[in-house]
Amino acid sequence: MELARAQLTTDESVIPTPPKRAMTAYLIFCQRHREKIMRSIRPDASQKFTRDEMQQVTTKLAALWNNISAKELKEVKEEAAKCKAAYEMQKAAFPSALLKKLARAKNKPKGTIVVEAQGEKPVRAKTAYLIFCGRHREKIMRGIHADPDAKFTRGEMQQVTTQLAALWKNVGARELAECKAEAKKELDRYRVLKANYRPAVYGPAKKQKSAKGANKPKKAPTAYLLFAEDLRNKLKEANPELKHDVISQRLSHDWKNISPADKQMWQRKADEYKQDLSRHALLPATNSLADHGNVPVLTAQQYDLPFD
């Protein structure tokens, strides 16, 4: 926990990775048997698997899990419990401030769109197996929970996956051909959309200051700000080594204990300053004021502003 906090405070650019969610008993089981099944399909470990081949791996793993022995089931459940306990400990040790920082970084806006996206954004095409699952998933889920609003546990969702894999293993030739034909149509459509799609181009995330803000009239300072500016300069001249927080405390203390007459004097100065700014705002916004014969050009001395 101390290490995570140190990383948060010392280097803001380095964001440590939060703990990964603990593996379930089924995932641990798959990890044990996946390599053996993959080698039975492709003996050469350097060769890449196609989608259909990876579906075969998934189907075989689900079938093995469906017939798992009681001894191995107990082992993977115990290992999953240990993983979950370790995950909970790591999560509890992770400072909440860092979790919030990670959430902000994850949801950080990309910035304003400079160039709009062209075409429809493609969604990866479904395989024949996913199309088959889409046909039968609802029926299997209703067989486990008749209520459509009921929530499924992880174990129940694993049952759904296992039953779908078993159905796919015994799929009829006609339905298999239908799923493959539908998958081919989706793949063709995906390739067309991908070829015609151009993603959006994003600019800086921070908004640029508008040019209008440069000519925006300044807000008149309050009586306290005029008093503080005057006293701050005197304090700095008398003692240049005074820290900022000490000066601020002194300004606040002296303002609270100032006499009513002096406070009224500073209030009058603030009112005059506000009136002068109002008159100044009414002047034409141009550098050549002398070109306007009916507009008086006032000097800084005629305004008699408190600041230079």
Which DSSP symbol is given to 118?
B
Q: What is the pLDDT of residue 164?
A: 92
Quote the crossing angle between the two packed helices 51-66 and 25-41, to the nearest 10°.
130
pLDDT of 284 higher than 60? no
Give the span between the Cα atoms of 108 and 17, in whole angstroms: 17
pLDDT tens column, 151-167: 888 888 888 999 999 99
pLDDT of 110 higher than 90? no
- The residue type at 70: A
Fold of 1-108: DNA Binding (I), subunit A (1.10.30)
SS3 107: coil
What does the domain layout of the chain look like in residue ranges? 1-108, 111-204, 214-303
- What lies within 8 Å, CB to CB, of 193 at 6+ separation is 119, 120, 121, 122
Q: What is the pLDDT of residue 199?
A: 85
Q: What is the pLDDT of residue 302?
A: 46
Provide the whole-model pTM: 0.40
As a whole number, mean pLDDT of residues 37-41 equals 90
**CATH architecture for residues 214-303:** Orthogonal Bundle (1.10)
Residue with tokens 């306290």: 224
Fold of 111-204: DNA Binding (I), subunit A (1.10.30)
